Amino acid sequence: MVDSKKLQEKAREILERDDVRRLLGWKRPTYGFEAAPAVIKDASGVDDLLFDATCVNNLASFITLEEKPPVPRGEEPDTRKTAIMAKGCDSRAIVQQLAEKAYGRDDVIVLGIPCSGVIDRRKAGEMFGDVSAPVAAECEGDKLILEVDGEKKEVDRKELMMDKCLRCRYPNPVISDELLADEVEKFADDDFSDVARFEKQSQEDKWAFFDEQFSKCVRCYSCRNVCPMCYCVECIVTNLKPQWTRRSTDISENTAYHLQRAWHLTGRCIECMECERVCPVDIPLMTLNRRMTRDIKEMFDYEPGVDPEAEPLLASYNPQDPEEYIM
């Protein structure tokens, strides 16, 4: 469990450094089951920082979203560091971004946070209904203690945790400059049983599933915008010249869009489930991503965002790879 005072003291120490421009963390929202991302630019704002089971957002997305306008004549670009609070899944995104040279290791300070799981606001909403105040949530063993509209609630954490947490292999940051709490045990091993169950369905049932789900898509691009691995300056799905995917929301174009994203994330998806979390029509987007993740692990023994020294999957070559597909 992260001590709030230690977290705030460390944040203050870092922000007082001349070589740090900002710190990415979480603060209490105005209401709801999820903490709000916070960009702290000076030490006066550190008292707002916190970490508990409501800190869901993957803050690694914000590192690559930094605007890069032309520097006015006579001025130098700001090359100071960004500090970031990172859970296990967040740290995997940072590792993968580093592997892809999105920025350099010296450009970021990682404050690692061992995580016992975060709550799923949809599950919480079904259990407690709408709330008018911010919710605090702490893990205590197998229990989750929530403060909902001034009342203490105790539930089995399995009932409220996000699915990614129930199978998380890396609850402790895989990269950090400083660890803010003691390491925690992983909740369970991931056997990809969800992928196996889906594969057992007939081709007709699988297509009926995707037909129903993709037909709901309104092409808001929230899944792309929140993804820490979707940081291309120009995105192929919204380019007009050439236009690979039309902007109409029929089943054909929606399917093309989601397949393009799944392929683009092959060997890169770090399973943070941000895409699925923000989808306004509740499309289970990880159904595709999880299948690709399992196949990559089985075929190439590769996991993205785990080894800071590893080459990106599609940028590496092994002459011993089988080539049965070559006639």
| pLDDT for res 77 | 81
Q: What angle in degrees, to the nearest 10, is found between the helix axes of 203-215 and 251-264?
A: 100
Q: What angle in degrees, to the nearest 10, is found between the helix axes of 251-264 and 286-300?
A: 40
Burial of 288 (0-12, 13-18, 19+ CB in 10 A): buried
| pLDDT for res 315 | 80
| pLDDT for res 79 | 86
Q: Is the CA virtual torsion 296, 105, 80, 182 positive or negative?
A: positive
Burial of 139 (0-12, 13-18, 19+ CB in 10 A): buried
| pLDDT for res 69 | 60
| pLDDT for res 326 | 66
pLDDT averaged over 10-residue windows placed end to end, the chain, 327 residues? 88 95 94 94 92 95 76 82 96 95 94 94 93 89 89 92 92 95 88 93 95 95 94 83 81 92 93 95 95 92 89 79 68
Q: How many whole angstroms separate alpha carbon 294 and alpha carbon 286?
A: 12
| pLDDT for res 325 | 67
| pLDDT for res 94 | 97
| pLDDT for res 155 | 93
C-beta separation of 171 from 164 below 8 A: no
| pLDDT for res 11 | 95
